[in-house]
Amino acid sequence: MENFSNFLYMREELSLVVLIVFLLLYDLIAGKRGMRYFQPAAIGLMALHTLINIIPRAEVSAFGGMYTYLPMAGVVKSILNLATLTVFLQAKELFSSSKQRQRRGEYYFLTLVTLLGMYFMVSSGHFLLFFIGIEMASIPLSTLVAMDKKCKKSAEAGAKYILLAAFSSGILLFGISYLYGTTGTLYFADMPPLISANALQIMGFVFFAAGLFFKLSFVPFHLWAGDVYEGAPTNVTSYLSVVSKGAAAFALVVLLFKVFGNLVVQWQGILYAIIILTITVGNLFAIRQENMKRFLAFSSISQAGYIALGMMGGTALGMNMLVYYLFVYLFSNLAAFGVVISIENKTGKLNISDYNGLYSTNPKLSVVMMLAMFSLGGIPPFAGFFSKFFIFSAAVEQGFYVLVLIAALNTVISLYYYLKVVKAMFINHSDNPIPTLRTDGYNRVSLILCTIGILVTGVVSLFVESISHFGFGVQ
């Protein structure tokens, strides 16, 4: 009986599994008429799932330490839920055509399975559970990436993603095997005292981290990102760039702080170089992009570099600000994707130059896009400014002046390309602008949600303060 009560500690996972099973059965059983309510049901239940799990619980460890619930992981799960919900809201149009409609069930099912995998990534207490989580999050994702069956780019992206994901999992496992070999345990809780920074362990750590860096698309492990982001259906791209990245970032920070605390000098050195590379290379490539999806892909690579700034210090402040950054990034990035999706679905146009003169025909969409760009670029009074300022503070607190200076100078580069989009919409004229279009109701809800998020989550201190209760430093 005791073991069963342990399941109750995994409340989020359980409710998600219920949701997944329900949707799977619904898809199987419901006839044509029933399927009409499939999307509302999926979205409604996802909203319910988000709501009932929104309040983090106390720290708890179940199954002999295999599963660990951290309050901060609870916060991150809520952020992931919210992001997934927003992605779902934006997905309505994706399945409006008759060809795509039959794949609706699979889309929601697979997306939620990856979400479950991410849940395990952020609350595992054991390397194997962690590995299962990461696999559960990657393999269905490659199916999702290849969802657009008729589109060659999508299929290519799917193949690319699964091959590289498998390769990086191999590297990750190889790293884990070294760690197991030198410490004799795979439990997060038992490992730290046994890690003494000997060469084998450092090597194990480097391989392990490289596997995770792949998920986070840190430079130089980013080469898959451009093609996969471009080829995947836009909804999947937005899911990849926010949810998948967020979960991996938080899993990494927990591991660095909880398990690899003794290697702090080593991983700080590695991250130092990686952050500079990620931010700079991501930015420089983003400048050259003409395709909106590729553009957002590279912008999100450089954003991952900023997210990693929160890990550098190894402090509770850093972790808090990292999670806060993810929270704000969710709204900013998904607002941008929402607009891209809306325009793509109606007109099929994806280039930045297609956006010329958008303000004259679609003022509301342009304003949302502009807010998203400003927030991503870190312009006050929008939320992105606050999250960027705070994550910089977390790094400066530990004395990383040069690093922060480089990151801050990079915001200028990033501003250049974010402003390029704003310029296209507001300043450039076009003889043939995108016609005035109606965004569907669900997507409109998601855009309103994101706009409110961009405007409110920065200025109102409640959000960052409530997140700040749960962080912890290197242990």
Residue 290 in contact with another protein, rule: CB under 8 A: no
| DSSP calls for 94-121 | GG-SHHHHTTHHHHHHHHHHHHHHHHHH
> CB 280 → another protein: shortest distance, Å?
14
Rounded to whole angstroms, how far apart are CA atoms 111 and 141?
A: 7
In 3D, which of 187, 179, 319 has the Cα closest to residue 263?
179
CB atoms near residue 276 (< 10 Å): 17
In the bound state with another protein, the residue whose beta carbon lies nearer, of 102 and 461, is 461
Give the one residue of 381, 437, 452, 473 binding another protein; rule: CB under 8 A. Answer: 381
Judged on CB neighbours under 10 Å (0-12, 13-18, 19+), 74 is buried
Q: How far is the CB of 426 from another protein (least distance, A)?
A: 6
User: How far is 324 from 310, CA to CA, in rounded Å?
Assistant: 10
For residue 412, the minimal CB distance to another protein (Å) is 5
Provide the greatest CA pair distance for the chain.
Answer: 71
Q: Which stretch binds another protein (CB under 8 A): 36-44, 108-116, 185-193, 459-467?
A: 459-467
Question: 118 and 249 in contact (C-beta within 8 Å)?
Answer: no
The Cα 10–Cα 120 span in angstroms is: 10
Taking CB under 8 A as the binding criterion, the range among 12-20, 93-101, 159-167, 378-386 that sits at the site for another protein is 378-386
Give me the amino acid identity at 361.
Answer: T
Smaller CB distance to another protein: residue 248 or 328? 328
Angle between helices 38-52 and 71-90 (to 10 degrees): 160
DSSP output for 314-354: -SHHHHHHHHHHHHHHHHHHHHHHHHHHHHHHHH---BGGG
- Give the binding range for another protein (CB under 8 A) out of 158-166, 190-198, 252-260, 380-388: 380-388
The answer to whether residue 374 forms part of the interface with another protein (CB under 8 A) is yes
Least distance (Å) from another protein to the CB of residue 436? 17
Closest alpha carbon to 107 in 157, 158, 141: 141
Nearer to another protein, 173 or 368 (CB): 368
Which of 186, 454 has the CB closer to another protein?
Answer: 454
**Residue 393 within binding range of another protein, rule CB under 8 A:** yes
Q: Is 439 exposed, middle or buried (0-12, 13-18, 19+ CB in 10 A)?
A: buried
87 part of the interface to another protein, by CB under 8 A: no
Residue ranges in 396-455 that form contacts with another protein under rule CB under 8 A: 396-397, 399, 401, 404-405, 408-409, 411-412, 415-416, 419, 422-423, 426-427
- Contact predicate 345/439, CB 8 Å: no
**Residues 169, 134 contacting (CB under 8 angstroms):** yes
- CB burial string 236-249: b at 16+ within 10 A, e below: bbbbbbbbbbbbbb
Least Cα distance to 106 among 145, 138, 70, 78 occurs for 145
In the complex, minimum distance from the CB of residue 117 to another protein, in angstroms, rounded to a whole number: 31
Q: Which of 110, 379, 449, 454 binds another protein (CB under 8 A)?
A: 379
Q: How far is the CB of 411 from another protein (least distance, A)?
A: 6
Of 166 and 412, nearer to another protein (C-beta) is 412
User: Closest separation between CB of residue 379 and another protein, Å?
Assistant: 5
Our CB check for another protein shows the closer of 94 and 279 to be: 279
Q: Pick out residues in 310-369 that bind another protein (CB under 8 A).
A: 317, 320
For another protein, the closer CB: 22 or 401:
401
Minimum distance, C-beta of residue 339 to another protein, in the bound complex (Å): 18
Asked if 465 is part of the footprint of another protein (rule: CB under 8 A), the reply reads yes
H or E, element range at 42: helix 38-52
What mask, x for binding another protein by CB under 8 A, covers residues 298 to 317? -------------------x
Q: Does 389 bind another protein (CB under 8 A)?
A: yes
Q: Applying CB under 8 A, which residues contact another protein?
A: 317, 320, 374, 379-381, 385-386, 389-390, 392-393, 396-397, 399, 401, 404-405, 408-409, 411-412, 415-416, 419, 422-423, 426-427, 461, 464-465, 468
